[in-house]
Amino acid sequence: MSAASHTETAPAALDTTRGLNVMVVGVGGQGVLMISKALALIGQRQGLQVKQSEVHGMAKRGGVVFSHVRFGAEVWSPTIARGEADVLIALEWAEGLRWLEFLRPQTGVFIADTRRIVPPFACRSRRHGAPMAYARETPAEVLDKVGEGYALDATAIARGLGESRAANTVLLGVLSASMDVSAADWLAVLETLAPPKSRAINLKAFEAGRAWADAARGDPSLSFDAGFDTHVTQADLPDVSVRHTINAAWCKGCDICVKLCPERCLALNEHQVAYLKAPQACTGCHVCEWLCPDFAIDVQTTLGT
Partner 1 sequence: MNDLMQPSFDVKDYLRLQMMPHFMCPGCGHGIALRSLLWAVHELGIDKNRLAVVCGIGCSGRVGAYVDANTFHTTHGRPLAFATGLKLARPDLTVVVITGDGDCLAIGGNHLIHACRRNLDLTCLMLNNEVYGMTGGQVSPTTAVDRLTTTTPHGNAEPTFDACRLADAAGASFVGREVTRQAPALKNVIKAGLAHEGFSFIEVMSDCTEIYGRKNDLGESPEMILSQKSDMRPEAFGNVADEPFRPNRLRAGVLVQRDRPEYGRIYRQRAAAEQAKAKAKP
Task: Please tell me whether residue 253 binds partner 1 under the rule CB under 8 A.
Answer: yes
CA distance 33 to 52: 10
Choice from 258, 263, 275, 277 touching partner 1 (CB under 8 A): 258
Using the rule CB under 8 A, is 226 a contact of partner 1? no
We find the least distance from the C-beta atom of residue 250 to partner 1, in angstroms, to be 4
> Distance of CA 275 to CAs 144, 251, 291, Å?
48, 10, 15
176, 188, 140: which is closest to 16 by C-alpha?
176
* Choices 14-22, 150-158, 210-218, 282-290; region in contact with partner 1 by CB under 8 A: 282-290
Chain centroid to CA 244: 35
Is 298 a binding residue for partner 1 by CB under 8 A? The answer is yes
C-alpha distances out from residue 23 to 1, 91, 213, 263, 265, Å: 24, 11, 18, 39, 43
CB hemisphere CA count around 213 (13 angstroms): 31
In sequence order, which residues have a C-beta less than 8 Å from that of residue 156 and are 6 or more positions away? 115
Instruction: Answer yes or no whether residue 254 interacts with partner 1 by CB under 8 A.
Output: yes
- Name the minimum Å distance from CB 252 to partner 1: 4
Nearest approach in angstroms of CB 130 to partner 1 is 15
Judged by CB under 8 A, the number of residues near partner 1 is 22
The minimum distance between CB 267 and partner 1, in angstroms, equals: 13
Q: Which residues bind partner 1 (CB under 8 A)?
A: 249-250, 252-256, 258-260, 284-286, 290-296, 298, 301
